[in-house]
Structure 1
Amino acid sequence: MCGPGDRRDAPTSARLSAAGATLPLVRMHAASRPADDITAEPHRWTVEADTYDDALAEVRGGVPDGWVLLDVCVDCG
């Protein structure tokens, strides 16, 4: 589990890649619902990416127009 502020920074990633290590995926679980329907069941999904920023961009891209992002939970490793 990642703590607040934990990120995969470029220098660390570059060092691990140079050493032949496999980088762990960042997995994010997200939920969203229509903005105008607070009683709607949330749509939940999971994304996996090589970096925190890529995973967050994918989560944000998965929220349709007119919907709100309810929560994001991050798993690393």
Structure 2
Amino acid sequence: MKYLLLFAVLFVAYMLWRNARVTDERETRSRRPPPPADPQEMVSCPVCGLHLPRSEAVPGQRGILYCSNEHRLRADG
């Protein structure tokens, strides 16, 4: 009878340990950083040659894209 009680206690301890470990693994997976952003189209400034994302470029005359307003004014003016 005492072996059955010992087995039951060990089984409960094992199940508690296993449940805690599985919970830790789930929390670790949920804390992973988000996937990287999608790639963006890059454009080159005709004045200095700097490459930058199209969304950050400053449009000039005739649809030419520049890295800054200063370079846009220098080229257009």
Range into which the TM-score falls when normalised by the shorter chain: under 0.3
TM norm structure 1: 0.23
The structure with more helix, counted as a fraction of residues: 2
The structure with more strand, counted as a fraction of residues: 1
Structure possessing the higher relative contact order (Cα contacts under 8 Å, 6 or more residues apart): 1
TM norm structure 2: 0.23
